[in-house]
A = this chain, B = another copy of it.
Amino acid sequence: MSLYVMKFGGSSVGNTERMQRVAKRIVEKQDEGHQCVVVVSAMGDTTDDLIEQAMALNPEPTAREMDMLMTTGEQISMSLLSMAVQSLGREAVSFTGWQAGFRTEAVHGKARIIDILPSRVQEALARGQIVVVAGFQGMTEDGEITTFGRGGSDTTAVALAAAINADVCEIYTDVDGIYSTDPRIVKCARKLKEISYDEMLELANLGAAVLHPRAVEYAKHNHVRLVVRSSFNNNEGTVVKEEASMEQGVVVSGIAYDKNVARISILGVADYPGVLAEVFGALAQAGINVDIIVQSGVQNGEADFSFTVSKSESESALSVIQGLKGGLPYREVTSEENLVKVSIVGAGMISHPGVAAQMFDVISKQGVSIKMVSTSEIKTSCVIDGGNLEEVIKALHTAYNLDTDVQVFVGGPQDRR
């Protein structure tokens, strides 16, 4: 007998039929002799409907009242899912976030979990009940209801799995698992049997939007064994764990991309100590996330450097830089918007020299020039012109032996809450 935490996203419980299918799946798991705790998101469009109603009354509601409103979405789906399980002749009980023991900091809309006191969940399990928990929500010490922000239900599942010492935390979603790259671009993308937390984090951050990075970090920190799999079939999913066993000849596990990249270059900056801190401090204060930063050498006391931001933030980043001109002498600021970032990710890279060099070679053979490069122990990213993204990804996928014979069909990743 194992203890499972099973998380189902909003599209998995989007209507009565899907809700019934999920209930059946939970009962099958119990029939195999396991204990089940289910974490569930708000049904399909519920969240959007609630936001729409709120906006009609107040375009700027307080975060507290939004939390009050939004948490009803999960409360509705958890109670309906319990009823669906009960209709299959099993005992089920649902708990809101606060009933399941989630204690959070006193911040609305993006609270962090401080502690979990899961005694009611454990008592229900001991009674042989299937436990359904509302994702995405908790309570402060003062009895205020809070939410976790994006990826919140994934985080609920992982955190609860850690708190009750579950054997596995299964994340059911609308894709079969984690793929070597986006199957919409590369038809012969490979479904990964296993992947390490660190690789998953790089892939998640880079846009393979199946698991929220915060949930992966939580899983890594608490050694929770994650499985990402489809709620629409019984295919084996992808296991996310400490160390993935490496397949023969596969150094790179996956290829990720980000289409939302803009580059800003500041040329001829007076090079004095603290100049970088000044520039990026100002950007941070304006709430702008900077991704890659590259500084070329210094010549005649002047330096050039470039950084990337998301396209939507490029305008505001430019005006921050222009606002600095008085105190920070520079010759020129330029920007470029039609760019993408492509990254190879693999825990094996650290012990295989030449992996990055091969990437540069593959990209240049596509006649594409590399604008910026950034490397970490398990990742190499190149910023290139957007027009050639698909060819470059396909070429890299082949070059790193990731192509498989099986063609997959997968819808877009949608379960984001």
B87/A58 in contact, CB under 8 A: yes
Q: Which of B56, B66, B75, B94 contacts A16 (CB 8 A)?
A: B56
Count how many chain A residues have C-beta atoms less than 8 Å from C-beta atoms of the other chain: 39
A68/B94 in contact, CB under 8 A: yes
A50 within 8 A of B: yes
CB A157 to nearest CB in B, in angstroms, measures 19
Most buried by B among A19, A54, A57: A57
Pairs A-B, 8 closest by C-beta atoms: A58-B87, A68-B79, A69-B79, A58-B83, A72-B72, A61-B83, A57-B84, A16-B56
Q: Which residues of B contact A99 (CB under 8 A)?
A: 143
Q: Which residues of B contact A96 (CB under 8 A)?
A: 68, 145
Q: How many copies does the complex hold?
A: 2
Q: Which of B83, B93, B143 contacts A57 (CB 8 A)?
A: B83
B87/A57 in contact, CB under 8 A: yes
In the complex, given contacts A16-B53, A72-B72, what are 10 additional A-B residue pairs having Cβ atoms less than 8 angstroms apart?
Answer: A58-B84, A59-B87, A61-B86, A64-B93, A65-B83, A65-B86, A68-B75, A68-B94, A69-B79, A71-B75
B58/A86 in contact, CB under 8 A: yes
CB A90 to nearest CB in B, in angstroms, measures 11
Q: Which residues of B contact A78 (CB under 8 A)?
A: 68
A53/B80 in contact, CB under 8 A: yes
Within 8 A of B (CB), among A7-62: 16, 19-20, 23, 50, 53-54, 56-62
B80/A76 in contact, CB under 8 A: no
A80/B69 in contact, CB under 8 A: yes
CB A68 to nearest CB in B, in angstroms, measures 4
